[in-house]
Amino acid sequence: MKIVIVGPGAMGCLFAAFLSKSKEEVWLLDKNNERAAKIKESGISLEGESGTWQIKTKTTSNPQEIGQADLILICVKSFNTKLTAEEIKPLLNPDTKILTLQNGIGNVEIISEIAGEERVIAGVTSEGATLIDTGKIRHAGRGETIIGAIDGKTPVQMRAIREVFNKVGFDCKMSRDIKSLLWSKLIINVGINALSAITRLSNGRLIEHEGTRRILRSAVTEAARIAKRKRIKLIFDDPLAKVEAVCEGTQNNLSSMLQDILRKKRTEIDFINGVIVRLGQELGIDVPTNKFLLDLVKTIESSYLQSV
C-alpha cells in the first residue's frame, strides 16, 4: 500500500512516523519546499508517550514525485482543505481512498465535492500530539482512532487501512456511524477550543473558574441543541458532563486553537464554533455564546494577521 500523509503538523508527523515503521511505502507531502527538505534530511523526531525516537520518511513538496497512491491521509488545517483536495489530484487512481482526520465539520463535504464522495473516509482520533519544531513532536497521549464512510459501508480498502494502523501501534476501529463521532468530537471542541484560545488557559483550568465554566456550558448546550434538531445522535448522553470530563482528563493540555493563537497562526474557528453559528442561522436557533466566541477569536486573529 502506498500511503501519503498531507501536512507536516503535529498529527501529520505523528502518523507519518508510526506508519513509516510499517512495510508500506509512506510519503509525507508538504507544500513548503524548505520545510519538506528539512524533514527529508533530518527525519521526524518524537518524544513523550511512545518514548524518544527518530525515523526517516520520504518527504517531498512535489506530488508528481510520489505518483498515484492507495491512501491519502489529510492532516492539514481545515481552512486549507479545498486547496489540498485540488493539489492531490495527481495522486489519485480509480481506487484511491482519502482519509480525513481533521477537526471540525465540513471537510468531508469539501473533499467529496472535488475528489468524489466514494473516495472519502472520515475519521476521529484521540491520539494527542504537539508540534515542538519542524519535524519534532511530543506524543502527548494515546487513544482510539475510529474511521468510517459517511454512507456506513465498510469497503475492503477500509479494513486494510485499519490493519495497517493497528500493526504500527494505533488502536484503530471502524464505525458505521462516523457522522455521530464527528459531531461528538465537534461538541467537545466547541466547548474547549475557542474559550481556551481567548483565555490562554489549559483545558483543565477552564472548569476551575466559574466564569469560564459557565461559558463552556452555554456553548456546549447550544451546539447540542443544533445536533438534536439535525437528528444527529451523539455518542454520549450528557454533553456537558462529557466535555467537563475531557477537560479533567486533559487538564494540562493546550488546545490546538490556543497553540495557533500563541503562534499567531490562523485558527479553525470557522469549522468549529462557526459551524454552530451558521447552522443556527439556517435553523432559526439562537446561539449567542458561540457567536460571541467566534467574534472574539476572529478579532484576535485579525489583530495579528493584519500586521504580518
What is the phi-psi region of residue 43: left when phi exceeds 0, alpha when psi lies from -120 to 50, beta otherwise? left
> Is 99:76 a contact under the CB 8 Å cutoff?
no
Q: Could you say which of 77, 185, 242, 291 is catalytic?
A: 185
Q: In 19-156, which ranges are E strands?
A: 25-29, 44-48, 53-55, 58-60, 71-74, 97-100, 120-125, 128-133, 136-141, 144-148
Render the burial of 240-268: b for 16+ CB within 10 Å, e for the rest.
bebbbebbeebeebbbbbbbbbeeeeebb
Within the chain, where are the H helices? Answer: 10-19, 33-42, 63-66, 81-87, 107-115, 156-167, 178-199, 210-229, 239-249, 256-262, 273-283, 288-305
Is 40 annotated in the active site? no
> Is 12:28 a contact under the CB 8 Å cutoff?
yes
**Please, which residues bridge with residue 59 across strands?**
28
Strand pairing class (136-141; 97-100):
unpaired
CA-angle at 256, arms to 180 and 140, nearest 5°: 90
Residue numbers annotated as active site: 185
